[in-house]
Chain A
Amino acid sequence: MSKVVSRRDFLNLVGAIGGTSALIQASTALGLMPGTAAASELNLQAVPANGKSAVILGAGISGLCAAYELMKSGYQVTVLEASHRAGGRVMTLRSGDLVDELGNRQYCDFDDEPHLYFNAGAARIPSTHNNVLHYCRELGVELEMFINENKAAYFQDDNLMGGKPIRNREFSTNVRGFLAELFGKLFSETELMESFSREDAETLLSVVSNFGDLDEQMRYVGSTRGGYASGGFLEHGTAHDMIAIRELINRRFMNEVLTANEGETGPMLMQPVGGMDMIIKGFLRPLGERVHYRSLVRSVQVSNDSVSVEYEQNGTTHTINADYCFNCIPSHLMTGIANNFPTDYLEAMRYIRRGEAYKAAFQAKERFWEKDGIYGGISWINAPVRQIWYPAHGIHKQKGIMLAAYDYGGGMHFTKMTQEQRLEAALAQGEKVHPEYRQYMEKGVTIAWHRMNHMLGCSARWQRDRGGWTDDEENLYHRLQQSVNGRHYFIGDQVSQHSAWQESALLSAHWALQDMDQRQRAQAGA
């Protein structure tokens, strides 16, 4: 039996001093909102130049970060990367690039111009991701703002308003009006005064009224905040008709839309100028020849004082022995590579499942959306493509690259399609928002992460149930985070409890480096 909270109780709770801040603290503890912290301080003990060695498996951002930090501390480092490129899930596509999706290899045919690129994997940097930002600063990666929410962008749902797209500002104004009116209907001023002072009650009601742009009777009768149907500058503007919001918010799709700009994807977000892989290039510059491409790791054998790695490059097998090994190869691929890891470690690796995210993009012949008043941001479509993104960079240039689909998991809808089917689906669904969409679109690319060579997934899925991590899952995770013999470390966002973010990948590398450092210091002290 759950305890029913009366309206009176509820008001007392809300009215109690500190009520809301207590709530915020509680939610941080529950891990709902990542707590803010400074960039983690790495203070690795320097070793005599090339006195110790490390081999890094996979040139994902975590591997490159580990290699870079170790190099700075005097280690001899070698990075082995199976693919023709570095960066893993940090992948920016430009003119001529190979999309190594197995069963659907493509070359990206965008025009060759600096603003015509597509971030096919990571695309957004939240301002709370201190370590990503720290490396951008240190590596000289120039940043610009990324626009996630744009009040001029659209929402479209075939089952609402005859499928007519509506602007975000119209939608959100109506939602606010509706919620505010609801509040006004629930609590009268007299009722509120039982828990608040008269002054507080008045303030509260005026805030609510302002929030929803209500009239004196606390009714929502439409608002010009949703934009004008006509006029507005030389003549008075007339507001749009109200929309049947009850119908609107009673849908899962809208639920998703309403939370899309909160938390980690809330403002401000950033992106590197010229593509997300500018961060990767930043790491690669100092690492130089230490990174070996098309080098497929075949075997990892850990002993008490070293790690032996066998890899294949251009048909020849090589072996490297190193003091340490940092490994960001996706766990579901590592299970197919020879190793002598302990059984509980293997069990953890076998437990993790892989996600299915999918993205598509077109080059647009003309930035038609800017003529429609849209500069950056996302339109939402209640269809498999889910979102279309308008580039905020390259404003008023001739062409632009537009994200045409982003299915961030929970199905293989697009993955199963042929390239032609994928592109056609993206066009047909984009047309729901912009009737002229198809005529402007050229040169499409699609990326099904579930099938990308040497990756085969968009991110690690530790949780089997939505309810939270089970004790078993916690144990398996903590086991995988530990080293094997203090010599081999698994890294990458797969070894974090918040996968699918570069920040987690970097922090996993830091965790491993610090653990190694502590062991070394302890040894030196002993």
Chain B
Amino acid sequence: MIARVKHVLILAALMLFSMQVAAQETEQEREPFDDRYCMTCHGIDGVGNFGVQAPRLAGMEPWYLERQLKLFRDGLRGKHPEDTEGLAMQPMAVLTDESITDIVAWVGTWEYKPAPATITAGDKEHGESLYQTCATCHGINAEGNESMNAPALAGQNDWYLVTQLQNFKAGYRGYRDDDVYGSQMRQMSGVLQTRQDIIDVVSYINTLRKL
């Protein structure tokens, strides 16, 4: 009996050893990959890419970037079945904390250039009056305000701002109470009653510059 147990143990040890060798060998041969794949969608140096509907990341506040990645990762954003673009981003953020830290630092090296305005036909004066409410949190020049937890809006891709405002209104973003800041913004989106209001306020934001 004892002899048999010993035998099995040796066999198990041998197997373990050979498995380790096999694992090392395959790891060496295998094509490596890393998590720094953001540019495929967000454009070179995070300039934003209309073709994939992925917004500008360059120049984004590190605290906001990190928060969004964690919201996506934890399924608090990008899980609503109607949120097409959020659903595309959500699995991309299933990353470890270390990886998120690395990526936030990496994104921080990208040069900020304001996104070109594509929505300008709205009523900017009306947009300006609507924006007064927004300014409390997002700042007079839409430059963002960390103490209010609100990111910069100026310089962001305007088509993306439109999607977000629609998504907040429809409850595709900020749909959970434990998404404290998202649900706060979802309430604020009530200020914009119609699609035209959204176009107007974004047309106005397009006239602002953050730096």
Contacts and interface: CB of A to CB of B under 8 A. Distances in A.
Interface of A: 82, 84, 96-98, 100, 102-105, 107, 296, 298-299, 330-338, 349-350, 354, 412, 416, 451, 453-454, 456
A94 B167 CA distance: 42
A333 B31 contact: no
Interface string B40-62: 11111101111110100000000
13 contacts: A96-B26, A96-B30, A98-B31, A105-B33, A107-B30, A330-B51, A332-B49, A334-B51, A335-B50, A336-B49, A336-B54, A350-B50, A451-B88
B33 A331 contact: no
Contacts of A96: 26, 29-30
Given A98-B30, A336-B47, A451-B88, 9 more contacts: A102-B41, A105-B33, A332-B51, A334-B51, A336-B43, A336-B44, A336-B49, A336-B51, A354-B51
A308 to B, nearest CB: 15
Contacts of A337: 43-44
Contacts of A354: 51
Contacts of A98: 30-31, 33
B163 to A, nearest CB: 15
Interface string B160-184: 0000000000000000000000000
B94 A333 contact: no
A336 B88 CA distance: 17
Given A103-B91, A334-B51, A299 B33 contact: no
A105 B41 CA distance: 16
Interface residues of B, number: 25
Contact of A333 (B30, B45, B51, B91): B51
B91 A338 contact: no
A451 B91 CA distance: 10
Nearest to B53: A332
Interface string B67-97: 0000000000000000000011001101000
Contacts of A350: 50-51
Contact of B51 (A104, A105, A335, A338): A335
A95 to B, nearest CB: 10
A102 B37 contact: yes
Nearest to B94: A103
A104 B47 contact: no
Q: Closest 7 CB pairs between A and B?
A: A336-B43, A336-B49, A332-B51, A103-B91, A335-B51, A98-B31, A298-B44
A100 B33 contact: yes
Contact of B40 (A102, A298, A412): A102
The majority secondary structure among interface residues of chain A is loop
B31 A336 contact: no
Contacts of B33: 98, 100, 105
A456 B41 contact: yes
B39 interface: yes
Nearest to A104: B91
Contacts of A334: 51
Instruction: Kindly name the residue among B26, B43, B48, B92 whose own CB sees the greatest number of chain A CB atoms within 10 A.
Output: B43
B95 to A, nearest CB: 10
Contacts of B52: 332-333, 335-336, 456
Nearest to A101: B91
Given A336-B41, A336-B47, A416 B87 contact: yes
A380 B47 CA distance: 44
A102 B92 CA distance: 7
Contacts of A330: 51
B41 A84 contact: no
B26 A333 contact: no
A335 B92 contact: no
Of A103, A336, A416, which is in contact with the most chain B CB atoms at under 10 Å from its CB?
A336
B44 A299 contact: yes
A456 B42 CA distance: 12
Contacts of B48: 336
Nearest to A350: B50
Contacts of A298: 44-45
A322 B54 CA distance: 31
A333 B53 CA distance: 10
Contact of A84 (B26, B31, B87, B88): B31
A454 B51 CA distance: 13
A454 B40 contact: yes
Contacts of A103: 91-92, 94
B82 to A, nearest CB: 12
Contacts of B31: 84, 97-98
B15 to A, nearest CB: 19
A349 to B, nearest CB: 7
A451 B52 CA distance: 11
Contacts of B47: 336, 338
Given A98-B33, A336-B42, A456-B41, A331 B51 contact: yes
A299 B92 CA distance: 24
A65 B30 CA distance: 28
A454 B49 CA distance: 13
